[in-house]
Every structure is written in structure tokens, then in C-alpha cells.
Structure 1
Amino acid sequence: MSFTLLSLRCFNIFVSHLLLSDFVMNSTYVCFLYIFNIYIIIDAESALDVILNALAFEFIIRLDEEITLSDWWDPQKRWITAGTMELIIQNTLRLDCLQSPKLFSKAFNIPEEEILEKCDRHPKLFLDEKQALEDENNPIFMNEDEKIKARCKEIAIELGNSNAIKEYEKSPVYFSLYERYLCCCHGNGMFQRYNHYRTWGRWENILYKSPVPDLKHFFETDDEGEPILSKKLDDIHHTKRKPFLNFSQNNTSHTRRFVRHSFEVLTFVHMIRGIISRLRNGQLKSSFLFFLDSVGQWIAFATQLVFPLYIIAVFCITCIYVFNH
């Protein structure tokens, strides 16, 4: 967990794309330390130097674990929870649909012109900073607790009470200086990243516009008049011509998929394919971050491949040296 925390703190700027940062910190970092440790031990002149050097590197490896176990380090696991939720959101929310009339229309079967009309003809649909700020301060979209806090915030601003303003207007929280100065696309820190999508008025206008599917052909009534699943469903099969949207016939084992992915990463196929796909979609910034992610993956996989070979080579050299002397 501690390496996960450090990876989230150090690589938070790339959290949208560097999903393997935890893997890198848990594997590559440790492997590099042991490789360097073995190199120094081999070059040591006495047994005492070997022991002291080995203990020093073990101290470096365990230092991170000891720090994160202390009481002052994120006692409520706020950072790791936020980082985990960030990864879940990144892999669950279809943000591309929420800011594209064409994709939203295709995904939810709503006419594109109707979507634009309900979203004030904004080209980014729900992604509108100005409208989100208006809806955030609109009492219509608040519950009773939020209305009280909003009123307290207004009074604090009128009285110039800085302590009360901080209580009701939370300042952006950042993991590190990297996120504060480089990750300007989010702008709102760790816990308010998707505030610009909170255009509640547009959500209310479009929420129930998607047509409700007709489910009558899925059910039939039995002899007692109770609804049951239709027996005709047994005759419906997944085909290439009419595929099921949520059906996958990928029966490849986890081992084979891991080997295939490792091969694609090490041969740069994964990198080239991902960059080309993003460039075609006009995602220039995403392409750059994906490139950094691919480089990190390549280093991680290459290290895992080289490390056992390095250990074997050191063992053979040591045996030869012992036999010769």
C-alpha cells in the first residue's frame, strides 16, 4: 500500500494515463535497488562491507513502508481513497460522450439536434465551467443542508470572516507541485476535478430523453398468469452480424493475455498503436501522456525480464570466482 501511496503522490499528474504507476513502484523500483545493491556487494572488499551495504539498501526499501505506517501519514486513508476513486472514474465514466453531441447521440439514441437544444447549443454539452458554477450556486439544485452551507458562505464573505470562508469554501488540494503547476487542465485539485461537468440544469433536461426499450418480448405469462421470461430467448444467440453489446467471447487465459501484452509492450507495438489511435482522434495531449505511460511500462517489463538474468549471471560469476580462488 505504501508504494501505491507514493506512486499516487509522485505520478498524480499522469493519473489519467499512468495506471501502472503502482506496478512500476512495486517492481521496477525494487529491482533497480537490488541490482545496484548486488553490484556494490560484489565490489566490496570485506565481509563487513557486504553486510553493511546490504543492510543499508534494506533500510532504503523499508523506509517507505515505515513512513506510511506512522500516525501522521494520511491516517484516514484520504489520499489513497481519492486516488482509487479517480482510477475508477477514469475507467467508468464516458467523459468523451459527455462533451460530444455526436457520441452522446450515438450512445443513448437521442437525436443530436435535440441534445444541443437541451444543452443550450453548447459544443461541449455538459462540460461547461460557467454553467456549472451557476448551477452550483442555484438553490433549486441544493438539498436543505447545502442551502444552509451556501447561506453561511454568503454571510462569511459579506463579513470578511476568512476562517469561516475556508470552512465553507474548500481550497483545492493537490498531491504535489507537479499537479499544481503542470496539471492545469483539471484546475480544481484532487477532490473537485469533475466540477465542470456538474451542469445540473442540462442533466435535468436530457436525463429522461433517451427512449425506454420495449421489454414486452422478453416476458410471457405462465398458466397461472404470472410473468416469466420468454422461452423465445433461448433461440437468440450472439453472432457477428448481430452481436450482443455486452457479450465477450474472449476465453484467453490470463497468462496468455499477460504474455501477449508483455510482448506488445517490449516490441513497442502497444505504444505505436495507442499513439496512432489518439492522434487520429485529435487527442494530442493524451498522446504525449500515453507515450510517457508506454515508456514507463517498457522499463517495468524490461526490468522484470532482465532482473532474473542478472541474478543468474552474478551467481555464475561468483561460483567461477570461488572455484578459481
Structure 2
Amino acid sequence: MASTAVVQIELGGALTKVASGKVRDLFAVDDKTLLFVASDRISAYDVVMENGIPGKGALLTALSIYWFRYLPSHVPGLKTHFINNSLPSALESSLDASVLASISRRSMQVRRLRVIPIESIVRGYITGSGWSEYKKSGTVHGIPLPTGLIEGQKLATPLWTPSTKAEAGEKDENISPERARTVIGDAAIAAEVERLSISIYTVAAKRAEEVGIVLADTKFEFGLDEENGNQVVLIDEVLTPDSSRFWPRDTWEQNLGGQQPSFDKQYLRDWLTGNGLKGKEAVTVPEEVVSKTAEKYREAFERITGAKLSAETS
């Protein structure tokens, strides 16, 4: 991976920036197309760290593209916003070769759609905030669960457990499926979001299982294709270490009842919590934690895709 993290995305004014998230910057290509560019920024507990993970943006882009190509042939009725991973001609003529190379590895052109205002989380195992709630009330997102579950246990069936989609600087809030349906405001659209979320999770969990990974939970986002009858479309990133919990299958049962080793940002979360920095602003992550987090992301990518992460990819 590159030695320096790219935490600011600059396109020299060639395209207009329309939004900036915790990781991605979005630029308008035209009125129907956006350029998604993934930086190396990393967030935990809804706070962006001061420094990034070198090469992370390229890895997230490559893994999302893998899933955008894999999933539609395995999930009936699934459409995605992914168009291609080429750069718009406006950039080709305005940026120098080194910048183009870096941006190219981090970018994909996607359809410009109206975003459905929830985070569509699916949990196949009980952990994280779901486990915290269960210990207090026996529920997850208000859904009653059997007594006697232990941390990390596989659930009888995957659960659709949405959260609010917070504005920058605010916290997502876990909500019940019933409240999510109210937020979405259309019963048919909400039902399709739930169906697709569970179906995608099930397919992805099977693929992960094949390479020795447990997909504990993951977050999806969806948009509406208003020109095609408000068709629900999978958008944003998908099934990356930023948006998912990936655990090694071979140690999962041994670690029931406690924290699982992981191929995602849990290592960073644990470091923050252990150092009293959970939710704190302006945190600089030490090089050892940066390096270990990058290693875990890389292993998840290489196991799932079957490809090595080359210097050209990062």
C-alpha cells in the first residue's frame, strides 16, 4: 500500500463537489451521474480520525466493485447504482498523471438517485450495539429475542435492524423496523428495502463462509430510481470492512461470549475504547494501529475476492 494516506480529495475544480461523507467525496459528472471517490479517512463511533489508513480508499472501492458485480446475479431483482470505474473525460484533461492514477483507483461512476433516509443494517450474529441492548432488555432494535443468548452467537434468522442516517457530525440512532417503515414513508418501498437487505446479507454470508469468514453484520444503503417506478437500488459502498463485521470462521466458536478477532475496524474501535478515546474528536491513530488495521482490511479483501491487493490497486 502507499505510504501516505490520502485524506483530502482535490479534483482541481474539474467537477463540482456535491457532498462529503466520513470517507467518500461525491462529485457531479452530470445531472444523472456522480463520481464517488473514496479517501483513506477512517471513522469509528461516528467520528473521523485525524489521520487515515494508507490505501484504504482504493481497497474499499475495489471490494465494493467486486460485490456490485457479484450480487445482481445472485439476488433476484437487485439493481445497483454502479455504472463503471472509469474516470470522466473532464478529469482526464485537467489532472496530471500521478493524480489521475490515485483518483482512478479510488473512484467509480454511479447513478444519481434519491437516497432512502435510513441505514439498512442486517445482523446475523449478536454483537456490538445489538448485544448491549440485549443485555439490558432482551431485545435488539426493539425486537424480542430468546433468553440465554451469548455474545457472538449466531441468530436463528438474520434480523433487519435499521438505524437513522445521521447528518455529518451527528450520531446514527438504532431504531425498530416499525419506526424505519414510518421514516421511509411507503410500505411497499420499506418492504423491498427489508427483502433486499436480508437477501443480500444471506448471499454475502454464504460467499464469506466459503473463504473462512463469518459475516456477523453489515450496513446497506439504498436509493430510489424515480424514473423507473421508484425502484429500490443498492447504493454507496457495500460489504466492506468499513460497513461490516468480518470474523475468522476458525476461531468464532472458541470466542463465543467475548470479543471476536476481526478483519474490520473493530481493532481500531477496541484501541479507542481501551484508551478512553471512544467518541472523542481530533484523535490521531498511532502507526502500529494504522498498520494493523490496514493488514486486517487487506486480508478481508484478498480472501473474499481471491485477488491480491497490488500496488496498482492501492
For this structure pair, what is the TM-score category when the shorter chain's length is used for normalisation? under 0.3
Q: Name the larger-Rg structure.
A: 1
Q: Answer 1 or 2: which has greater strand percent.
A: 2
**TM-score between both structures, scaled by the size of structure 1:** 0.24
**TM-score between both structures, scaled by the size of structure 2:** 0.24
